[in-house]
Structure formats: structure tokens, C-alpha cells
Amino acid sequence: MCIGQLGNLLPHVAVPSILAQFLIPEWGLTGTSAGLLAGSFAAGYMLAVPVLSTLTDRIDARLILIAGSALSSVATVAFGIFASGFWSGAALWALAGIGFAGAYMPGLKALTDRLEPGDSSRAVTLYTSSFSLGVGLSFLVSQIVAEQFGWRAAFYTTALGPLVMMAVCLSLTPVTPKATTTKLLTFGPVLRNKPAMGYVLGYGAHCFELYGIRTWLVAFWTFVVAHNGGAGVLTPVAVSFGFSLLAMPSSIIGNELALRFGRHRAVSVVMVASACVGLSIGAFAGASPYALIPLLMLYAITVPADSGALTAGMAMSAHPESRGATMAVHSTVGFGLSALGAWCVGAALDASGGPNVPSAWFAAFAVLAAGILIGPLALKWSRGAPTLTTSSLDPDTVK
């Protein structure tokens, strides 16, 4: 499943990868419109995931995973063929996001439905942390292909990735979900599950920061290189790939720390640390790349370190009969705030003088810091509720 997910993620950041070098100058995009274009993927995902993830409580998630992967591949090819400006690009990229809505959380549900009973946090964390490796490959492949063969070729190439997940799905044993009496798109029990909602809102803060930096990382490092003459520094390709590559072990280690020291405590410390590192990067945006690289690599560790712990906490706090619905809310909040993060960073850049001004990047990183600091507040809000687990939960406990 992790290998299949790497394939599904190959198109994931194709648009952010080529924004600064190709789409912004060719289509005359502002920071705000560029953020909206990149965020349209998350917006499409957010609109579709409530239905698609909730359906996994009724039918085998494997079937939804196959359909979502196929749509993701087709929409990515269509972007390469037909996208010619902001509106066509946003519509097609939102369609790709809808396809991914049938791939990511349904993939997690397909995985957890096939695990033995018990603490599944390590398996969930491995799946969620492989997300970062897939994003790194997406950055790497998209930029290399675009530079060699043009940006449209990057979409034709990355569209092959989801076919890997379709092949994986064919090898999975069919599973019939347990019968549920809950109506489709009934999220009341999920919203009343305070422990799970704490993780959901914390995940939203995480996604705001994560997608904000992923959307603008290449543009930021392009600015850093240009601001310092471009000699003797890592390329945006190397920085974006390295940033994503560090995320996988970081997420796994973060979950292990959560198991040792307590999930709320570990996640809150990571989020506060990430805000501090982000503000430091913004404050030194005009400094030498050699001073910024260590800070950026530290940020690559703090940003994803809470991801696996948050998603595993959500999965373990969810009622077994509404786990798909809980995952739907989790993803809807997460990717909704992902789209908002990409847009807010672009808007902050526009409002502060544009992406060629160091102070504008401080404003951008300040926005990211403000977003992630919502996470500890959400976890503190949910702390008073009893912890729910998949082994002890029954319908009467969800209040």
C-alpha cells in the first residue's frame, strides 16, 4: 500500500513544482492567484472526500481507491493537454484533487480494514509518512522533466504514477465492511467525539502549514538563489526533494515520541517548535543560503513530525462503525485548510511587496506560524474528554 501511495502521489505537487519557473511568468499570475491555483487541488479534494471516505463504511475501500486513482491519472494528463491559464488550470487541478480524494483516505481505510486488531499506530504512521516520500518524488520528477522537456511533459509523466496503485489494488483480498446503521454523510457522532475532533483540528493546523510551505518552497528558494547571485548553492530541485525526504523519518520519529511521552504533549511541543523555526526563516529570508539551509532542513523535520501522530490518534479515537466518516472529516478539515494555507501565503506575499522582497517572505512565514499554533489550542480543548480507542469504544461512549 505504501508503494502504491508513492505512485498516487507522483502528480501531487506538479503544479507547485513549476509555479515559479513556468506558470507564474507564462500565465501572468499574482501571488494570490498562484496560491489559489495550487490550492484548487486541495479544494477539489475537500469537496469530494466527505462522500468518498464515508462510502468506505459501506463498500470495500479498494473499489473507491481504484476509481480515484484512475481519475487522478486522467485529470493530470488533461492538465498537461488543456490547461492554458488560471481558470482552466484551476478547474483541471481541482478535478485531480477529486481523484486523490478517492485515493488517500480510502487507501488508509483499505489498509486498516486489513490489519489485525490492536494498536495500528505504527502501520498508520508508516502509510502517512510515506506520503512525504511520494511528495519528494513528485517535486523531483516534475521539476527535472519540466526543465528537460517542458512543463506539460511533467504532467504526462507523473500521470503514470496512479497506475501503480491500481495494480496494487488488484492484489488485495476483497473485504466487506461491517454493517452500519449510520446514514451516509451523517457526521454528528464524529463531531461529538471530542478526542477525535481534537486530532482533526490539530491536523487542519498541520495541513495549513505543510501545504503552505510545499506550495511556495520552490518559489522561496528561487528568491534566495537570485537574491544571493546564484553561485555555489543548492538548486530548488535539490532543496524541495531534500525537504520532502526528511519528512518520512520525521513523521515516524514523531509518532514514537508520542507513544513515549503522550500524544498531546509531543504534538504540541513539535507545533510550537515549528512555528519558531518558521519565524526564524522569515526573519533571515534575505541572508546567505548557507545560513538558511540548516534552518530550512530543521523546518523540514518539525513541519511533518506531528503528521503521523495526529492521524494515528484520529484513527484510534474513531468509533469503529464510523471510522470512514471520521477520516472524511479529518481529510475535509485538513485539505480545506491546505487550500487556505496556499492562498494565505500568496496573499501575504502580495500584500507585503511581492516574492522578490525579503520582508514579504517574513510575512509569509508569520502566516504559517500563526496557522500551526492553532493546533496546540485544539488539542488542549479536547484534553478534558476521555480517550477513545478502537478496542474499548462502543456507541454509547460517543457523546
Q: Give the residue carrying C-alpha cell 501565503.
A: 345
Q: Contact 329/192 with Cβ under 8 angstroms?
A: no
Q: Is 229 exposed, middle or buried, given 0-12, 13-18 or 19+ CB atoms closer than 10 A?
A: exposed
Q: Nearest to residue 71, comparing CAs of 104, 109, 100?
A: 100
What confidence score (pLDDT) does residue 397 get? 29
pTM value surpassing 0.85: no
Q: Where are the alpha helices (DSSP H) in the chain?
A: 2-8, 14-18, 24-27, 31-55, 61-82, 86-101, 104-112, 121-149, 151-158, 162-170, 188-192, 194-227, 236-261, 263-283, 289-302, 307-317, 323-351, 358-372, 374-382
Domain membership flag for residue 398: no
Number of compact structural domains in the chain: 1
Q: How far apart are CA 143 and CA 147, in angstroms?
A: 6
What CA–CA distance (Å, rounded) separates 374 from 368?
A: 10
- For 4-44, how does the pLDDT look when each residue is reduced to its tens digit (9 = 90+)? 999 999 999 999 999 999 999 999 999 999 999 999 999 99
Q: Say what the pLDDT of residue 181 is.
A: 61
More confident of the two residues 260 and 180 = 260
- pLDDT tops 70 at residue 389: no
Q: What is the pLDDT of residue 228?
A: 87
Q: What is the pLDDT of residue 122?
A: 73
336 lies in which domain range?
A: 2-173+184-392
What confidence score (pLDDT) does residue 185 get?
67
What pLDDT, on the 0 to 100 scale, is given for residue 8?
A: 95
Q: What is the mean pLDDT of residues 346-359?
A: 95
Place 398 in a pLDDT band, splitting at 50, 70 and 90: very low
| pLDDT above 90 for 131 | no
pLDDT band at 396; cut points 50, 70, 90: very low
Grade residue 321 by pLDDT with cuts at 50, 70 and 90.
confident
Residue at 217 is within a domain? yes
Confidence grade of residue 319 (pLDDT, cut at 50, 70, 90): confident
Tell me which residue has cell 507585503.
Answer: 352
> How far from chain centre, in Å, is Cα 352?
26
Do the domain assignments include residue 11? yes
Place of cell 488488484: 170
Per-residue confidence at 190, pLDDT binned at 50, 70, 90? confident
> Looking at residue 23, which CATH number applies to its domain?
1.20.1250.20
| Residue 179 covered by a domain | no
The verdict on residue 75 lying in a domain is: yes
- Report yes or no on 311 lying in a domain: yes
Exposed, middle or buried: residue 148 (CB in 10 Å: 0-12, 13-18, 19+)? exposed
Structural contact between residues 36 and 24, judged by C-beta atoms closer than 8 angstroms:
no
Number of C-beta neighbours around residue 69 at 10 A: 28
Supply the pLDDT for residue 184: 64
50-94, pLDDT tens digit by residue?
888 778 878 888 999 999 999 999 999 999 999 999 999 999 999
Distance CA 33, CA 174 (A): 43
Residue 397 in any domain: the answer is: no
What cell does 391 get?
Answer: 478496542
Determine, yes or no, domain membership for 377.
yes
- Reply yes or no on whether the pLDDT at 392 is more than 50: no
Query: Does pLDDT of 371 surpass 70?
Result: yes
**Mean per-residue pLDDT, 158-176:** 91
Indicate if the pLDDT at residue 325 is higher than 90: no
Phi and psi for 12 in degrees, rounded to 5? Answer: -60, -45
Q: Please work out, in degrees rounded to the nearest 5, the angle formed at the alpha carbon of residue 61 by the alpha carbons of 204 and 166.
A: 100
229: left (phi over 0), alpha (psi -120 to 50) or beta: left
pLDDT reading at 135 higher than 50: yes
**How far from chain centre, in Å, is Cα 390?**
25
As a residue count, the chain comes to 399
pLDDT band of 191, cuts 50, 70, 90: confident
* Sequence-ordered list of residues with C-beta below 8 angstroms from that of 4, at least 6 positions apart, any chain: 107, 164, 165, 167, 168, 169
Percent over 90 (pLDDT), the chain: 59
| Angle between helical axes of 194-227 and 307-317 (0-180°, round to 10) | 160
158 versus 116: the higher-pLDDT residue is 158
pLDDT average, residue stretch 250-258: 84
Instruction: Compute the mean pLDDT over every residue in the chain, rounded to the nearest whole number.
Output: 88
In this predicted structure, what is the pLDDT of residue 81? 97
Which of 264, 260, 304, 388 lies closest to 134, judged by CA?
A: 304
Between CA 260 and CA 192 the distance in angstroms is: 28
Does the pLDDT of residue 387 top 50, yes or no? no
Between 279 and 58, the higher pLDDT residue: 279
